[in-house]
Structure 1
Amino acid sequence: MNICRPYLAKLCSTLSGGPVVSGCRWVSNGPRFPFHSVKDIKNWDLDSDHQILPPPSTIFAPSKGRRTRHDNFLDFKRIRVTAGGGGDGSIAFSHSAVQPFGPPCGGNGGRGGNVYIMACKDITSLNGILNNYTAANGTMGSSNNMHGANGEDMVIRVPVGTLVRQVQAPIYASSTAAELGDDEGGVEAVGQDETENADEDEIDVEEQNEIYAEQMMRLLEKHFKFKTNYRPREDRARWLMERLPPKPYVPPPVLLDLTVHGEKHLIARGGRGGQGNPHFVTHEIKGPAICERGEKKEPVWLEFELKSIADAGLVGLPNAGKSTLLAAISNAHPKIAPYPFTTLNPYIGTIDYSDFWTMTLADIPGLVEGAHLNYGLGHQFLKHVERTKVLVYVVDLAGKEPWRDFEILQAELEAYKTGLTARPTLVVANKADLPRARSNMEEFQTKVQYPIVPISAKERRNITHLTGALRSIVEKAGAQG
């Protein structure tokens, strides 16, 4: 270390904001700074009073403000899921004073853990989903016919309204599996390839037998375990070839739509446990030194896509007052600010009525013209409208042409999905307390052929009438659906 003690003492005093204690140890009551290496310290500057001036960007980072639970909202995730592999069987023989060379008593291996997926209403985002899930493997069998324990099952909890799709493995994962190779092609195929590449006259029959025996032994060792220094004879190797496990069942691709709380599905089944050596006893083989290996499972790649589920959805252009309205009539606390695109993630609130009837209301982020072409993250926002039973258009009544805003919203929804605008509809004319709103209201009523409720979400005016109209239209939509 090429920095002298006075230099370090000055550094300690500057960072701590207090006196230096012996041995350059101090107690700092000031702000805590990140660690810097000696190389970084050398590059710092000194002012005229020989005070150390570290780069401001490395210490005084700008404050990001208060973080909320919606800052890390995710509605799309790709993960890898691997079920647990089965435990290997055991090679064991019973020993006693009366019978020192007893019969085989190796236990079977345990089953690998399954992977389930379950919908949970207490989760609202996919940001808590990990990138990789692997269930526990089954344990190996032991002597005295004691079977191995099964692997513990794993449950992946996702929000209600999640779509689950099975996709192909990424390119890097497929290339890695190809490099490892696979011996499942069969012994005959390997021998056939080598004989095709060489002249039949140049290869002896003995060499072909050696190649065949080597490939067969490699295949057997992949599925069976043998005692140390044990190599089965040719007749027993052929007998084991007949006992090879069948090819694993390939289930159809996973395609789920989790819309009910507590809904649970199996997405990856655990591997089968291997058999112990008692299963290989025959009339000729009384003490087999052979057991079966547990079944290993391949990973499955899944895509999660979250589409919010609510009784009604607030649809409007940016800065129309949707978040203010949601905060006024429900228990939600969305971010509210006087600029467009304040809401970047869907918020869901619950409206509680005096007779204990409840309904859910979703605040969809603001749409722009061309949203069906994915302008302004249009597809990311529009997909949350598909699950709502009732469409609630929030229009700025004090705008220049509120009827034009309503036409844009309907055109974008219909262009995104045909028939989406045919759902029960309620129009909320927000900011009705402003002077320009009164002149626009008459023309707005003539051009919009849907029920219109004028309100002022900021001033909490006509909110009771709006919640009553919402309840009646939601109840009617529920009875029809």
Structure 2
Amino acid sequence: MFIDRARIFVKAGDGGNGMSSFRREKYVPKGGPNGGDGGRGADVYLIVDDSLNTLLDFRYKRKFQGENGGAGGSSNKHGRDAEDLFIKVPPGTIVRDEATGEVIADLTANGQQVLVAKGGRGGRGNARFVSSVNRAPTFAEKGEPGESRWLILELKVLADVGLVGYPSVGKSSILARVSAAKPEIAAYHFTTLTPVLGVVSVGDGRSFVLADIPGLIEGAHAGVGLGHDFLRHIERTKVLIHVLDVSGLEGRDPIDDYHKINEELRLYNEKLARRPQIIAANKMDLPEAQANYKRVAEYMAREGREIYPISAATGDGLPLLMQRAAQLLAEYREEPEAAEEVKVYTAQPEEPFTIRRADDGAFVVEGKNIERLVAMTNFDNDEAVRRFQQIWRKLGIDDALRERGIQEGDTVRIHGVEFEFRP
């Protein structure tokens, strides 16, 4: 089974909680604070493994969570940092953030990796809060929550040469003849529903990866049939072999087929229409094909296309076709990217927090720093609560809430935690 798109959830590990403790030794009646820091939560990475060629594994497991950091200990012992989590993906995987649609990475090389969720830092132990005015702090921070997000993984087959053409023109038969691949072959349309790869050896130690791309139809560029799913896999190929059924036994004219498929390629991606393309005139073992071949060959000559008469059924002409594909592949040079418009960004000071009203009337305070502070504060500890209130006032949240018309007893919500406003 071939799976070329998956949706997964990744959650980095939370930081370990800091420790609140004091030295307790004989003859040391007033030992100082010695609580250690919590360990760092696991980062989550995607890493390319070239032994994989599908996203099938993500059909059965969609959620991945890194380990949390260890809690801090007494005697200033730091908690253990969690080991990072590496999720293996096949080469050719494009990673997008589901919420924003942003492309995070295009993973093509074996061992290439990308950070997709950052682990939370460990909370600080009470020993870290000693100051000239507080010699014995009793509170410690909780660990910072790790990042989480939904990702869309999309696989584009990494092949050197792609076989394109209408359904049932013989693409699968060609691949089966020239490689060890075993695509499904039958006398009906759309036998191949997923790309099949095979390695073609052309002698002298040269070889390339050939992809049997499922048959295209009119409207594929707009998603008709499985158009987008099929066309996606052609984007990575460097050379195209356009297979035509020259016999015309399906009731279609091979020259019309040629134009319709190329128009679909052009409408989907202009670059595809400019890729090196050679014509494989298939089914030459049939009398109808032999009768049509001269007309088709003369037309392709006027179009400036190379044409090779072949028979996937007998194997005639295939060695020469593969040799030419290998030669074009060796001569291929990547088309230079168009110069992108230079965008100038002016740095703007980030608002420390924002306030909005929820549907239930609560005042919702949002901001990276204040949300982190809430997540890492132990509200069961009175001293930790007093520290939170001090930072709250320093940030000017009280004044901002009053400007928004808050009244005593109104609800303030931050990062899922609710407070009752008291002047």
State the TM-score, normalizing by the size of structure 2.
Answer: 0.74
Select which of 83, 88, 103 maps to 2:32: 103
CA distance in 2, matches of 1:147, 1:469: 64
Shift in alpha-carbon separation, 1:328–1:100, aligned structure 2, 3 A:
farther
Per-residue CA deviations over 1:29-87 (Å, capped at 9, x if unaligned) read: xxxxxxxxxxxxxxxxxxxxxxxxxxxxxxxxxxxxxxxxx2xx221112211111100
The 5 A counterparts of 1:48-197 are 70=1, 73-129=2-58, 130-168=61-99
What count of residue pairs does the alignment treat as equivalent?
Answer: 328
3-state DSSP class of the match of 1:292?
A: coil
Per-residue CA deviations over 1:421-480 (Å, capped at 9, x if unaligned) read: 111011111111111111111000111231111111121222221221111111111488
Per-residue CA deviations over 1:336-374 (Å, capped at 9, x if unaligned) read: 111110100011111123322221111110011221222
Shift in alpha-carbon separation, 1:423–1:479, aligned structure 2, 3 A:
closer
If each structure's helix is expressed as a fraction of its own residues, which one has the higher value?
1
1:311 is the counterpart of 2:160:
yes
3-state DSSP class of the match of 1:117?
A: strand
Letter in 2 for 1:162: T
CA distance in 1, matches of 2:147, 2:50: 30
Per-residue CA deviations over 1:401-427 (Å, capped at 9, x if unaligned) read: 212211111111112222421110111
Mark the structure with the bigger radius of gyration: 1
Shift in alpha-carbon separation, 1:479–1:279, aligned structure 2, 3 A:
closer
Indicate if the aligned counterparts of 2:120 and 2:147 stay in contact, CA closer than 8 A. no
Return 5+ residue gaps in structure 2 as ranges.
337-423
| 1:476 matched residue in structure 2 | 331
How many angstroms does 1:280 deviate by?
1.2
3-state DSSP class of the match of 1:291?
A: coil
3-state DSSP class of the match of 2:326?
A: helix
| 1:328 matched residue in structure 2 | 177
RMSD over aligned CA atoms reads 1.8
How many angstroms does 1:255 deviate by?
2.1
Indicate if the aligned counterparts of 1:254 and 1:267 stay in contact, CA closer than 8 A. no
| 1:455 matched residue in structure 2 | 310
| 2:287 matched residue in structure 1 | 435
**Percent sequence identity over matched residues?**
42
Per-residue CA deviations over 1:290-312 (Å, capped at 9, x if unaligned) read: 11111013421211111112111
Indicate if the aligned counterparts of 2:15 and 2:143 stay in contact, CA closer than 8 A. yes
CA distance in 2, matches of 1:302, 1:138: 24
Letter in 2 for 1:436: E
Letter in 2 for 1:434: L
Return 5+ residue gaps in structure 1 as ranges.
1-69, 170-251
Between 134-143 and 391-400, report the one with greater CA deviation: 391-400
CA distance in 1, matches of 2:170, 2:330: 25
Select which of 296, 301, 308 maps to 2:150: 301
Shift in alpha-carbon separation, 1:412–1:479, aligned structure 2, 3 A:
closer
CA distance in 2, matches of 1:97, 1:135: 41
CA distance in 1, matches of 2:317, 2:103: 48
The 5 A counterparts of 1:158-307 are 158-168=89-99, 255-307=104-156
Shift in alpha-carbon separation, 1:419–1:253, aligned structure 2, 3 A:
closer
